[in-house]
Structure 1
Amino acid sequence: MGELVDNLPEEVLALIFRDLPLRDLAVATRVCRAWAAAAANSTVWSDKSIRQEAK
């Protein structure tokens, strides 16, 4: 399974990442450089709204 994920194009990763909550997206950016690049894709951020969470 690792090889399958390693070979996903950045655009596909971005489509997956756009549905992640911000906290999980932040974790994904630290997995590897390819994931960090995919997370920076504008597709990921087009629908994100950043709100301060109540404590």
Structure 2
Amino acid sequence: MTTSNELDLAVYRTLQAFCATGDDLAAEARYQEAIAQYNEAWMLLPEPKNH
């Protein structure tokens, strides 16, 4: 069971995958592609989103 402060496990794993891919792309200086991956992860976060 998740509380309002916890993410669903599937969402958490998807976030991890997007961020890991973003990190790999950034390490290869493929910054625009990395940002796109981070943005995909950001969109999965529930509201309210904090910067």
The answer, yes or no, to whether TM exceeds 0.5 is no
Structure number with higher relative contact order (C-alpha < 8 Å, ≥ 6 residues apart): 1
Give the TM-score of the pair, scaled to structure 2.
0.28
